[in-house]
């Protein structure tokens, strides 16, 4: 239990040194990773059942004309693609915002450095160090957060692209992989 207290104290000190912008980055990163984990969960545990449900609904329908059959197939493929692409753009926006929030932290930290220099004439290095810390920590946090999101999105985008290509097979049941086979 002691390690938990030490972790809390270290995290609190880090957040205080980085300034208030670091809290905004933390909230943004928490939101971004919640969305990423939702997509990972979807592809690992939900998507196959969703695709099987679409296939079952499509194959159980009776069509009056080939036009109705084609329109229904298009609708089911669109439903699948919407489900596959859910929250992808929002995750990408969060990834793009992380370094921008870091830059905002840099600017606010440098403003603090300039204020100290204006009041002390640049002779108080210890006071300027606090502003430099508030300038560099948010920048680092924003970049690391963005990089972690980019790395996670590589896997998510691969899943999106491969499952979009297979959506026609999922709907019509024309491929063994879409039917639950290995190839």
Check if the beta carbon of residue 72 is closer than 8 Å to that of residue 101. Answer: no
Q: pTM to 2 decimals?
A: 0.84
Measured between alpha carbons, how far apart are the two ends of the chain, in Å? 49
Tell me how far apart the alpha carbons of residues 149 and 145 are, in angstroms, rounded to a whole number.
6
The answer to whether 87 touches 38, Cβ cutoff 8 Å, is: yes
Task: For residue range 145-166, list pLDDT tens digits in order.
Answer: 999 999 999 999 999 999 998 8
Residue 175's pLDDT band (boundaries 50, 70, 90)?
Answer: low
Residue spans of the domains in the chain: they are: 21-172
Query: Cα–Cα distance between 152 and 157 in angstroms, integer?
Result: 9
Residue 129 reports pLDDT greater than 90: no
């Amino acid at each position: 239990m002691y390690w938990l207290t030490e972790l809390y104290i270290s995290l609190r000190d880090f957040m205080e040194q980085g300034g208030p912008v670091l809290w905004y980055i933390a909230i943004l990163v928490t939101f971004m990773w919640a969305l990423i984990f939702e997509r990972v969960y979807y592809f690992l545990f939900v998507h196959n059942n969703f695709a099987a449900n679409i296939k079952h609904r499509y194959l159980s329908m009776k069509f009056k004309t080939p036009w109705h059959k084609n329109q229904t197939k298009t609708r089911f493929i669109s439903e699948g693609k919407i489900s596959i692409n859910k929250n992808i753009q929002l995750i990408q926006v969060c990834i793009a915002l992380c370094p921008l929030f870091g830059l905002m932290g840099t600017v606010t930290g440098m403003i603090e450095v300039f204020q100290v220099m204006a009041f002390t004439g640049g002779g108080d290095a210890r006071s300027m160090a606090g502003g430099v810390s508030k300038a560099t920590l948010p920048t680092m946090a924003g970049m690391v957060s963005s990089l972690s999101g980019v790395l996670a999105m590589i896997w998510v985008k691969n899943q999106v692209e491969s499952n979009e290509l297979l959506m026609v097979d999922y709907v019509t049941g024309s491929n063994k992989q879409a039917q639950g086979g290995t190839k």
